[in-house]
Amino acid sequence: MESIKQFGQYSLLLYQALRSVTEFSTYRKNLFSEFVKVGYESIPIIILTGFFTGAVLTLQTAYQLDTDLYPSSIVGSIVGQSILIELAAVIGGLVLAGKVGARISTELGTMRVSEQIDALESMGFNSVTFLVIPRVLAGICMFPILYVTAASMGIIGGIIAGAVDGILPAAEFMVGAREFFYPEDVVFGIIKSIVFGFVITSISCYKGYYAFGGAEGVGNATTQATVLGCIFVILTDFILAAVLL
């Protein structure tokens, strides 16, 4: 029963946000700062995660295919495609559910329990327009850029790991990666990242916006936002794979 109530509340929040999305002047300033916080400030963690995901995947793929049956360039094919279709978006999504999701829910939760959201409303602001829309839009716009960054770094990580470990030279890795490169895989990855951006930011906004109960309440909201963000990344990943592949 509580889940249904929460889903209703979440839907209502999104409906309110959608209705006031045209009030651009209200959230213009916030939108730019959210682009920076969600996008620019996430680049280091995304570079790190993407790079090592590609590197580890190369080492493990080479270990599993340690046979003369396949050309070594197959490692590049598998790593390239795995990163583009799945890993860059999903691992990036899970990392951002922690980093971005936790920040948003904590920020809004603290604003709620310290009456800053009430203060906004009491001044005549639409707090949903002011707080929720820029964060969700930043998620939708910035996650694809972070996906492209993660994917690029994953492939670079794979190339470097392969070359340094003596598994396969960079040129051979690229031959394999190019052989099984389909542009629609990138489109699929971008679609995934847009959906993940929306899911993570909207859930975090919802949990933070309706936080209650002081510091403990904000802590609970942040935990729930992060956990739900991760769960829904995995869930939507499955749904998108089933529908789009």
| Residues at the site binding another protein, with contacts judged by CB under 8 A | 26, 114-116, 118-119, 121-126
- Nearest in space to 242 (alpha carbons), one of 192, 177, 193, 168: 192
Nearest approach, Cβ of residue 98 and another protein (Å):
22
Q: What is d(CA 48, CA 50) in angstroms, rounded to the nearest whole number?
A: 6
Nearest approach, Cβ of residue 27 and another protein (Å):
10
Going 216 to 221 to 226 to 231, the CA torsion angle's sign is: positive
CB atoms within 10 A of CB 54: 29
Amino acid making up residue 209? Y
Q: Which is nearer to another protein, 109 or 154 (CB)?
A: 109
Q: Which is nearer to another protein, 4 or 123 (CB)?
A: 123
Q: Which is nearer to another protein, 4 or 242 (CB)?
A: 4
Amino acid making up residue 232? F
Structure-block tokens of residue 214 = 């002081």
Nearest approach, Cβ of residue 200 and another protein (Å):
21
Nearest approach, Cβ of residue 130 and another protein (Å):
9
Q: Which is nearer to another protein, 31 or 170 (CB)?
A: 31
Q: What is d(CA 222, CA 192) in angstroms, rounded to the nearest whole number?
A: 23
- Nearest in space to 105 (alpha carbons), one of 13, 23, 211: 211
Q: Which is nearer to another protein, 59 or 113 (CB)?
A: 113
Nearest approach, Cβ of residue 124 and another protein (Å):
4
